[in-house]
Amino acid sequence: MLFNSYTIFIYILFFVLIYNVVKWITTNIWVRNLLIFFGNILILLTLVKEHTLIVLSVFSVLIYFIGKILQHKNSRILLTSSISIILLLFVIRNYPYIQNQLSDGIFSFINAPILSVQKLGISYILFRLIHFLVESYRKKIQRSNFITFLNYILFFPTFIAGPIDTYNNFAYWVGHERKSYDWKLFFAGISRILIGAVKVVGIVPLIIVYATDYTTLLPDFSAWWAIILSLLLYSVYIYLDFSGYSDISIGTAYMIGIKTPENFNNPYISQSLAEFWKRWHITFSSFLKMYVFKPTIRVFSSFINVKHRLLITILSYIVTFTICGLWHGSSINYVYWGLWHGVGLAINKVWTSQLKPRFAFCNSTGYKIASIILTFIYVTIGFVFFQYSQNQLIELFKLLS
């Protein structure tokens, strides 16, 4: 996490000050881009090893030039093969079983340098690389700058856990001069960092032990109540920790004059699971929708009659959130968590499209309050699959039975 050590804090503070002074002196985009690039390298080297940055940079350069080709040429084969390579990189780095399968033969040449890449931030980088390729192919990215692209991939405030920006948005904020607005953004960034720090440094340490280990509550509560209280605290903890980190990331980017997208919008007041995913980890949810859910809809629609639109949507939810679970981790409990949300979204779709319109009480205030409570409970129960491994889940269920 940013600011997790005195050294990183000093480096970031030094960079922000120098960058703003230089930006005030010159409007040259190349100068600002180079300064951001060297700032990224300096700060990221405090988080990851040199080899990781070298491999990711070389790979990003390759993807950049493929994207440049796709901006001028409609090659579905090039797009598909490039995305396949990116996904192969992700799978090799994150799944031990596949690492072992590829450890011999021709794949060992690929496997060795990839395995030496640290996992920190790699999932978010690969998402940005896929985004760049797809939007270049769609001609939504029609112009791109090499240094801007590298900065987009390696941007230190969002390197570890997002928010996941789009290339066009990042390039816009890097490439436009807005001195008066940038100062407003600078002070807004300070406020966001303070808010994030209160969440992450002030509140999270008070509850993290109880939130992540229900056994700490067993001396004072029964097994059922210990697990329930721990899960409730985990919901609070993961929101404060994740949204707090996002606040710090967004605030730091603001201080550099780059307005990154928001990542959370009061998710625990959602009246449905679908609304929750529009409010929780917003940039990730948007990428899932664009690059997994919609393509899955098109695939199912190619061999399932469109009359069965509801079935197509349900199957797409299941596939999308299974992938979402696998993206979060290689152990089976993340698949359970993904399926929990996929099934929940499928049930919500059936309810909202087929049943809810038949009941007048669904417009009442009481229904809305009940919906918020039910959604929160469903999300909170799902976190049991997110935080505990399969063996821990078995122990937990044995304890409750």
Say what the pLDDT of residue 116 is: 57
> Could you tell me which residue, 15 or 2, shows the higher pLDDT?
15
Domain identity same for 324 and 342:
yes
Report pLDDT digits (tens) over 355-399.
888 887 888 889 999 999 999 999 999 999 999 988 888 888 888
- Average pLDDT of the segment spanning 68-90: 89
Domain identity same for 98 and 228:
no
Decide if pLDDT at 97 tops 90.
no
Domain identity same for 15 and 164:
yes
Name the domain boundary from 221, 255, 289: 255
Domain identity same for 277 and 142:
no
> Could you tell me which residue, 180 or 236, shows the higher pLDDT?
236
DSSP of 243-304? HHHHHHHHHHHHHTT--PPP--S-GGG-SSHHHHHHHSSHHHHHHHIIIIIHHHHHHHHTTS
Q: Average model confidence (pLDDT) for the chain?
A: 87
Residue 332, classified by CB atoms within 10 Å of its CB into exposed (0-12), middle (13-18) or buried (19+), is middle
Domain identity same for 149 and 233:
no
Domain identity same for 26 and 12:
yes
Report pLDDT digits (tens) over 260-316.
999 999 999 999 999 999 999 999 999 999 999 999 999 999 888 877 899 999 999
Full domain range(s) for residue 290? 267-400
Picking from 46, 58, 52, the residue whose alpha carbon sits closest to that of residue 117 is 52
Residue 131 placed within a domain = yes
DSSP of 20-34? HHHHHH---HHHHHH
Report pLDDT digits (tens) over 237-265.
999 999 999 999 999 999 998 999 999 99
Residue with tokens 């007048």: 360
Residue 191: pLDDT band with limits 50, 70, 90: very high
Q: Are 164 and 291 in contact (CB under 8 A)?
A: no
Decide if pLDDT at 137 tops 60.
yes
Domain identity same for 225 and 343:
no
> Could you tell me which residue, 108 or 94, shows the higher pLDDT?
94
- Average pLDDT of the segment spanning 323-340: 91
- Average pLDDT of the segment spanning 137-166: 90
Domain identity same for 109 and 150:
yes
Residue 261 placed within a domain = no
Say what the pLDDT of residue 288 is: 94
Helix (H, G, I), strand (E, B) or coil at 119: coil
Predicted TM-score (pTM) of this structure: 0.90
Name the domain boundary from 192, 220, 255: 255
Residue 20 placed within a domain = yes
Decide if pLDDT at 42 tops 80.
yes
Name the domain boundary from 177, 194, 214: 177
Say what the pLDDT of residue 23 is: 82
DSSP of 63-95? HHHHHHHHHH---HHHHHHHHHHHHHHHHHHH-
Residue 113: pLDDT band with limits 50, 70, 90: low
Report pLDDT digits (tens) over 197-227.
999 999 999 999 999 988 899 888 888 999 9
Q: What is the dihedral of CA 166, 169, 171, 177, to 10 degrees?
A: -160
Structural domains counted in the chain = 3
Picking from 249, 247, 152, 254, the residue whose alpha carbon sits closest to that of residue 198 is 247
Residue 202 placed within a domain = yes
Domain identity same for 125 and 234:
no
Q: What is the rounded CA–CA span in Å between residue 229 and residue 210?
A: 8
**What DSSP character marks residue 200?**
I
Residue with tokens 């929780």: 280
Helix (H, G, I), strand (E, B) or coil at 133: helix
- Report the 10 Å Cβ neighbour count for 58: 11
